[in-house]
Amino acid sequence: KFAPRPVNARQLYLSRKPGNDTLSWYPAFARVSASGNFAFTTGPWIYTSNAGDTTRTLFGEYVTVWHRVADNSWRALLDCGPAHPEPSAKVPALDETGPVASVAAKAAVTDGDIVAQRLMQADTDYGALAVKEDARAAYIQFAAPDLRWIRMNVQPRVGKAAVLAGVAAEPASVHWVAQ
C-alpha cells in the first residue's frame, strides 16, 4: 500500500477509525442440487457510503455458490455481486420452507430437510461472521480452496489465498450488515 509512500497495509487499515459505510444483503432465492452437494443463494444487496454530508447508495444482486464437503458443512465456491439500478420494489426474502427444502427433499441424501437447513445455517453463519468480524474472517471459515471472487472494477480472484489477499486490501471502513 502507498500512502503516499510504502507502508504496512495491515497496520494502516487497523489504525483507521470505523466508518459509516454499510453493505447489507439477504437471500431471496436458493436451490440445492439433486445430489445435495451443491447449492446457491442469491438476493439483493445495498451498499451505503456516508462521506460527510453526502450519502451514496448502490444496489446489486449477490450470488453465492456452495459446495457441501465431507463433514457435511457448506463452503462457498463462488461469491459475486454485480451492481444494478435501484429496484422498483423490495425483493421478498427467501421462504426457508419453500423451494430449497422441497428440492433438497428430493435429493439423493439421507434427509433433504437437514441439507436445506444446513445450507441456510451456513449462509446465516457466513453473514453473521462477516458482520461480527469482517469479510476476511468469513472467507477464512467458509471459502472453498477454489473460491472465485468477482467484484466490480476489480479483476476476478481465483483461489482462497488470492481472495484473502484481495479482501485484506479492502478499506476497513466498510462494514457488512446482514438483514
Residues 6+ apart with CB under 8 A from 167: 134, 135, 136, 139, 149
How far from each other are the two terminal CA atoms of the chain, in whole angstroms?
33
pLDDT of residue 177: 56
The pLDDT tens digits of the residues spanning 160-169 come to 998 888 776 5
Position of cell 489465498? 161
All cell numbers assigned to 6? 510504502
pLDDT of residue 1: 44
pLDDT tier at 108 (50, 70, 90 boundaries)? very low
pLDDT of residue 60: 86
The pLDDT tens digits of the residues spanning 13-34 come to 667 666 778 888 888 888 888 7
